A and B are shown apart, each in its own frame.
Chain A
Amino acid sequence: MLIFVVLCPVLFIVQMSLRTGLDAFQMPPTFPFSVTLQNYVDLIEGKFVRSLVNSTVTSTSTTGLALLLGVPAAYAFSRARIRATGLVSLWTLATRMAPPIAFGIPFFLLYKDLGLIDTRLGLIVIYLTFNLSLVIWMMRAFFDGLPRSLEEAAYIDGAGVVRAFLRITLPLSAPGLATTAIFTFLLSWNDFFYSLILTRSAAVTAPVAIVNFMNYESWEWGKVAAAATVIMLPVVALSIVVRKYLVRGLTAGAVKG
């Protein structure tokens, strides 16, 4: 029952996407109803697919790059015995210390001069800027939870720092990596603000494309619902695939004193 209540908005959107325009506004909704896939056909025939590709490319690239750069950084912060570690890691959070709107205008002006407006590269760079701190802080907590003795054992067996990290630490951090990757992906995938101000038509992402179904004269609710359903699908699929790791990742350290 609780699951049904929680999923109610999602189910409402999905059933709405399968109705005709007029039927979508029947209140209360009528069941059974004649199912139509016209809203999805309209999405495919329109420009939405391009925005979905943009979302996929920018979110996947951001996630990959953020992990590539952030995970070694997090490992360094976790293991290095340097006095400034705390201060430096705190500064990595600087990009998250103010609401996105505070950075919006400066980034717009900078991007305008650099010719990065309406480019996927521009979006990837900005998502990376904001997600890197998340990756570093999340992964650092996971690395802190792993005993150093495992790596020390590897050193005794002749492994170097890189080898110990790649062969011992990283596989043990798989749940953390999965959790971090999902969060990074979600933050990029669902971003509306930066896509709104930094893209126009070529690099526009799906969350902004959805809003464009709100015409001046009337809103195309059927397409909005269909697009929302399509946007949800990859995230749901990804979550199911890595569910095991996700749960372990989220509960790691939860029972430690």
Chain B
Amino acid sequence: MRPISRRQFLRSTLVTTGLTAAGLHASLAHAQAGKPYAGARIKMSQVTHAYGDGLVARLPEFEQQTGIKVEIDQMSFPVLNQREDLELAGSSGAYDVMQMIFIRSGRWIGAGWAEPLNPFIDNPQLTDKAALDVADFVPGAMAPFKRGETIYALPWLADSTVVGYRTDIFEKAGYAKFPETFEALEEAAKKIHTRQTAAFVTQDNLHWIFPNWLLSYGGSFFANPPGDLTPTFDTPEALKAAEMFTTMLAKYSPPGGLKLDTSMSQAIMQQGKAACYLDGMGNTQHIIDTKKTTLADRMAFTHTPRGPKGHFPQLAVHGYFINKASKNKNAAWEFIKWAVGKDTMLWSALNKGHLACTRASVLGNAEVRQKFTWRGSDLASLHLAVMKRAGEGYMAYRTVPQFPPVGDRVIIAMTAIASGQTSTGAGMKALQKDAEAILEKAGVKINRRG
């Protein structure tokens, strides 16, 4: 090896020192300009959604403000479920910010895959707490992502179950307003249902729809989640709820009504082939899309019916969290603050039709209220009311780690009962047995019921 001369050594030392100083100067300049993470590159995963489209559209603004480069990877819900699960289990750190799917939150938070956000929120150097205003998120939307006082994700989407219905059809059948109980709805369905126009339509994710009946009739998935996860599908209340629900599917839904995805359900309403549609707000609101239907001026929205034990509309919440394996946690937090910020969410509601949002201030905004009021139905208030109601705690069954496989089994049971493959009693008994097996296999201690 050739020895380095004194001159070469001095020259290279000078060059290195100069470059380091220049780099430091640039970093300091960025920091002084409020861009401490300039140059960081982060990647985010989320479901394909109008909210994600809105973020993509406004990304240049965020990148200019912070100097952080963001890649938003939007994918379908089934793909997102698989990928996020795999990424987190493999601790790959490929995504810095990820969508917290609330039915998986129990497992992901329990496994320590989500970074607690309190240290970021409580650090004044990282967060302007007044601007973030965590209290502005409706409690029902925050609940799935909190364990005690620890926050693991901030919500951007809360889908509340509501009903969209044809006022003209119900009025013709003698109903000045939509039936308020599930029994009254079934009575109305008997009068309304024809071969041309089904009385009722919903989507095929039945573990999302059935609980509207189940909880209203006093039934539940588990005895007392999250403490006691003994399944309770074989109780008289659960049987009654299953009977009522599957009757609506079997007798009063359109042909193929058990296997309709959200688009098909919406299209059936838009084409005038059903009188009412029960689903999440994010889906239901599309039935009045005047580009797709001429019947919008005959539609209205209302809350879901109640049962003998009360009113239990469902709430599906999705948030953003920092992947524990991320190497850019501060930059990721910077992005989350912006993505769920008041400005971003308000812009999305007004420009992207994102009504299923999670901030009370956005839902209370006069412009938003006006935009989402349709023929006397104030959708923003309807949504806010469901979020507040769900905040009372009855949605806890959905965030237990074992919910996803049990939920899948509920879909199978409801489909089998509604299609006449099995009786309600036998179907629910089989569901109970399978749910017990799933939970015991997962190591959950349950009190067998027979």
Give Cα distance in the complex from A140 to B342, angstroms.
66
Among A70-78, A174-182, A217-225, the one that faces the other chain is: A217-225
Residues 162-201 of A, flagged 1 when their CB comes within 8 A of B and 0 if not, give 0000000000000000000000000000000000110011
Chain A residues positioned under 8 Å from B73 (CB to CB): 200-201
A211 within 8 A of B: yes
Partner of A26, one of B43, B71, B92, B271: B271
Closest to B356 in A: A217
Q: Counting chain A CB atoms within 10 Å of each CB, which of B157, B283, B292 scores highest?
A: B292
Give Cα distance in the complex from A216 to B46, angstroms.
10
Closest to A217 in B: B282
Whether B283 pairs with A217 at a CB distance below 8 angstroms is yes
Interface size on A, residues (CB 8 A): 26
Chain A residues positioned under 8 Å from B262 (CB to CB): 217-219
Total cross-chain contacts (CB, 8 A):
77
Whether B83 pairs with A197 at a CB distance below 8 angstroms is yes
Q: Tell whether A216 pairs with B263 under 8 Å between CB atoms, given A196-B79, A211-B79.
A: no
Q: Tell whether A208 pairs with B292 under 8 Å between CB atoms, given A117-B94, A197-B86.
A: no
A215 within 8 A of B: yes
Partner of B76, one of A105, A197, A200, A213: A213
Whether A112 pairs with B271 at a CB distance below 8 angstroms is no
Give Cα distance in the complex from A213 to B4, angstroms.
61
Q: Tell whether A200 pairs with B94 under 8 Å between CB atoms, given A22-B292, A216-B77.
A: yes
Closest to A25 in B: B267
Among B17-25, B47-55, B117-125, the one that faces the other chain is: B47-55
A214 within 8 A of B: yes
Partner of A212, one of B79, B261, B266: B79
Whether B74 pairs with A112 at a CB distance below 8 angstroms is no
B270 within 8 A of A: yes
Chain A residues positioned under 8 Å from B173 (CB to CB): none
Residues 71-90 of B, flagged 1 when their CB comes within 8 A of A and 0 if not, give 10111111100110010001
Chain B residues positioned under 8 Å from A245 (CB to CB): none
Q: Tell whether A218 pairs with B263 under 8 Å between CB atoms, given A117-B92, A201-B71, A211-B79.
A: yes
Give Cα distance in the complex from A208 to B271, angstroms.
30
Closest to A214 in B: B76
B388 within 8 A of A: no
Give Cα distance in the complex from A44 to B262, angstroms.
25
Known interface pairs A25-B267, A197-B82, A215-B49; 13 further A-B residue pairs with C-beta atoms within 8 A, sorted by A's residue number: A22-B270, A22-B292, A22-B293, A117-B92, A197-B86, A200-B43, A201-B73, A211-B79, A212-B74, A212-B76, A212-B79, A214-B76, A215-B76
Enumerate chain A interface residues (CB-CB to B < 8 A).
Answer: 21-22, 25-26, 105, 108-109, 112, 117-118, 196-197, 200-201, 208, 211-221
Enumerate chain B interface residues (CB-CB to A < 8 A).
Answer: 43, 47-50, 71, 73-79, 82-83, 86, 90, 92, 94, 157, 261-264, 266-268, 270-271, 282-283, 286, 292-293
